[in-house]
Every structure is written in C-alpha cells, then in structure tokens.
Amino acid sequence: MENEETEYDYKKLKEAGKVSADALKHVATVIKPGTKLSDAAESIERFIADAGCGMAFPVNLSTGAEAAHYTPEFSDQRVIGDKDVIKIDLGARKDAYLTDCAMTMALDPAHLKLVEASEKALEDAISLVKSGRSINEIGREIEKTAKSCGFNTIRNLGGHGISQEELHADIFIPNFDNGDTTPLEEGQVIAIEPFLTTGVGYVTNGESIQIFQKTGDVMPRSQDSRDVLNHITEHFSTYPFAMRWLIKGMDGNEFKARRSIADLLNAGDLEAFPVLVEKSGGIVSQAEKTLIVEKDSCAIVT
C-alpha cells in the first residue's frame, strides 16, 4: 500500500495500463518469423512512446528456455524463428506510475497447450484476488492449474507489488503455495505472472546481461564513467534501462558505454539483471496482468 499521506493517482496508473494493453495488441503485428528481435523491440517501445508514456523497463523478448530479462543487444542480429516460443514482457510508465504485463506467442503449434495453460493459470489466479486474500492461496491456485494441464510452475519467479517509481515492491506473489499468508489490501497494486514450463521449474542466470538499473551515486574516477553515470541519471533516473539505449545515447560509442558500465557495476552504482534461463532447458511460457485489489474482487489495469 502507498503511504496514506500520499494520494495515489489511479487515473495515471490506468492511463499507463491502457497503453500497455494496447502495446500487447501491437505485438501481434511485429512478432513474426524472419523479423529481427531488435526491430520488434524497437517497434513495441516506439508504440509506447508515441502513446505518450515512458517505459517502465526495456521490453523483454525471451525465447524458448529463456524465462525473462532478455532484451535485444545493440546491433542484435537474432531473428525470430518459426518454432520459437516468445515471452513478450512490457510495461508503460505515466510519470511515477508503472504497469507490467506479458503474453507468450507460440509460433510452433506444438507449444500452444503450454501457452494456454499459463493464460488459464492467470485467469484462475485473478478470480481469487480480493482484499484479505492471502498470497499463498493465489500461488496454490496457479500451481493447481499448471499441474492439471501437465506443466510445472517456476518456483523462483512470480508476481509482485507495484508502487510509485518501484516496479517490484511490497510483496512477492508466488507461483505455488509457499506458506506466506500475507493478506492483500484494498487499493494495493499488484502484478500476477504465472511462469509455466516443461522443465523442472527453476531458473538460473544466463550469460547475457543487457538490462541495468541505477542504485547508487558513487562518482568513479574515470571521466568517461562519470559522463555515462550522468547520462543514466538524466535520461533513465532509477528506472531499468537497456544497454542498447545507453549506446545510442552515447552516439554509438559502444566501447565507452560497455567499459563504463563495468566500472559503475564495480563501484556499486548499478544493478545488473541477467537473462533468466530454465535450469533444465525446459520451454517457458508467461502471462501477466497488473491489477488493483478491491474489497470483493479486483480491477484489471492492463
């Protein structure tokens, strides 16, 4: 919940939610075999900007066993294949109000049941949301649906609370019954996001790291690194950003951007978000919506 002394602007939240939902509809026009992931990401991010919102975080286009946090690299040459299962995770920002939503597209019909199962798990979970509902009950319902469809949930990923300027706040909403009986509160903004998989149900860090977030203000010795930190502060504030965004902002000076990012990580100024990969190589599907908890139900924002 927000501080009671701060009036929460649900109108701005809903504006960002509508743009996010519209962006997910736009996704179908760009996620096609033969399209570069970088072109797809830039098209989605441009759609959100043209609608008058900022990005809550770089659009994630994670494929196959990648569960989350893959955003295209600068000059990324990866192309969408006709067998890919792609998670599209995005969020729009209106001032300090953030939304988060996701869908999965299975270009290979063999994985449609997995995608449908994650969507059903989300629907079943949303049907339980109301003030006073314990978060482990939501997780239990997600896993129940997943198991009934023949899949596992990913246990070390889940939903979360959303507060002003903070995408992951307050609570963690599991994809299984983790025993946490913390009750939802009326007016609380949350994201529920079932991750289902054909694998064992855990993710580990992969090699690619393309998303970062400012967490400190320690000025490094290098002038280049100071320039990059100032650029991050001015253009991204404390919201997550993509390496490709930074390199473009540095007029394409990839060496300066990458060297400075390493310096800033070492100084503790940044947090890095590696791509998350299913431990056993299982295919992953994701579905997600942002909600406002109400007394007897919830309002879907995205």
In this structure, are residues 195 and 285 in contact, taking their beta carbons and an 8 Å threshold? yes
- Cα 160 from Cα 174, distance rounded (Å): 8
Identify the active-site residue in 26, 69, 111, 160.
160
- CA–CA gap between residue 65 and residue 86 (Å, rounded): 9
- Spot the catalytic one: 168, 231, 271, 294: 168
Please give the backbone phi and psi of residue 32, each rounded to the nearest 5 degrees, phi first.
-140, 145
CA dist 283 and 196 (Å) reads 8
Active-site residue, 180 included:
no
C-beta of residue 165 within 8 angstroms of C-beta of residue 9: no
**Sequence-distant (≥ 6) Cβ neighbours of residue 164 within 8 angstroms:** 2, 6, 8, 96, 97, 98
**Whether residue 108 lies in the annotated active site:** no
Residue 160 a catalytic site member: yes
Determine whether 296 is an active site residue. Answer: no
**Crossing angle for the helix pair 112-126 and 135-148, to the nearest 10 degrees:** 150
Q: Contact at 8 Å (CB) between 261 and 212?
A: yes
Q: Give the integer Cα–Cα distance in Å for 264 and 193.
A: 31
The CA-to-CA distance between both ends of the chain, in Å, stands at 19
Catalytic residue among 193, 263, 269, 278: 193
Choose, from 15, 100, 119, 141, the residue flagged as catalytic: 100
Query: H or E stretch including 276?
Result: strand 270-278
3-state secondary structure at position 8: coil
Instruction: Identify the active-site residue in 89, 143, 263, 269.
Output: 89
* CA dist., res. 271 & res. 167, Å (int): 14
89 an active-site residue? yes
Token pair for 281: 């190589």
Catalytic residue annotation: 89, 100, 160, 168, 193, 288
